[in-house]
A and B are shown apart, each in its own frame.
Chain A
Amino acid sequence: MATGHAPTASEYIVHHLTQLNTSGHAQENVIDWSIINIDTLFYSVLIGALGLYFLWRAASKATSGVPGRFQAAVELLVEMVADQAKGIVHSAESRKFVAPLALTVFVWIFLMNAMDLLPVDLLPRIGEMFGIHYMRVVATADLNGSLGMAIGVLLVCLYYNVKIKGASGWIHELFTAPFGSHPLLYPVNFLMQMIEFLAKTVSHGMRLFGNMYAGELVFMLIALLGGTATVFGFVGHVIAGSIWAIFHILIITLQAFIFMMLALVYIGQAHESH
Chain B
Amino acid sequence: MNLNATLIAQLVVFFILVVFTMKFVWPPIVKALDERAEKVANGLAAADKAKADLAHAEKKVVEEMRKARESAGDVRASAEKQASQLVDEARAEAARIIAQAREAAEAEAATAAERAKEALRDQVANLAVAGAEKILRKEVDAKAHADLLANLKQELQ
The listed residue with most A CB atoms (<10 A of its CB), out of B30, B31, B32, B35, is B32
Q: Is B96 an interface residue (CB 8 A)?
A: no
Residues of A within 8 A of B142 (CB): none
Residues of B within 8 A of A35 (CB): 4-6
B interface residue count range (under 10 / 10 to 19 / 20 to 34 / 35 or more): 20 to 34
CA distance A170 to B86 in the complex (A): 105
CA distance A52 to B7 in the complex (A): 21
CA distance A223 to B33 in the complex (A): 45
Residues of A within 8 A of B4 (CB): 21, 27, 31-37, 144
B28 touches A104 (CB 8 A): no
A75 touches B29 (CB 8 A): yes
What secondary structure prevails in chain B residues at the interface with A?
helix
Q: Is A169 an interface residue (CB 8 A)?
A: no
Q: How far is the CB of B10 from chain A (nearest CB, A)?
A: 3
Given contacts A58-B29, A99-B26, contact A52 B6 (CB under 8 A): no
| B-contact 0/1 string along A139-150, CB 8 Å cutoff | 100111101110
Given contacts A78-B26, A100-B26, contact A30 B2 (CB under 8 A): yes
Which residue of chain A lies nearest to B9 when distances are taken between CB atoms in the complex? Answer: A41
Q: Is A3 an interface residue (CB 8 A)?
A: no
Q: Is B11 an interface residue (CB 8 A)?
A: yes
B14-22, B62-70, B105-113, B145-153: which lies at the A interface?
B14-22
* CB contact list, B73-94 vs A, under 8 A: none
A64 touches B32 (CB 8 A): yes
Q: How far is the CB of B102 from chain A (nearest CB, A)?
A: 95
Residues of B within 8 A of A (CB): 1-11, 13-15, 17-18, 20-22, 24-36, 39
Contacts A/B (CB < 8 Å), 12 sampled: A41-B13, A55-B21, A56-B20, A59-B28, A78-B26, A103-B25, A104-B14, A104-B18, A139-B10, A148-B6, A148-B11, A151-B11
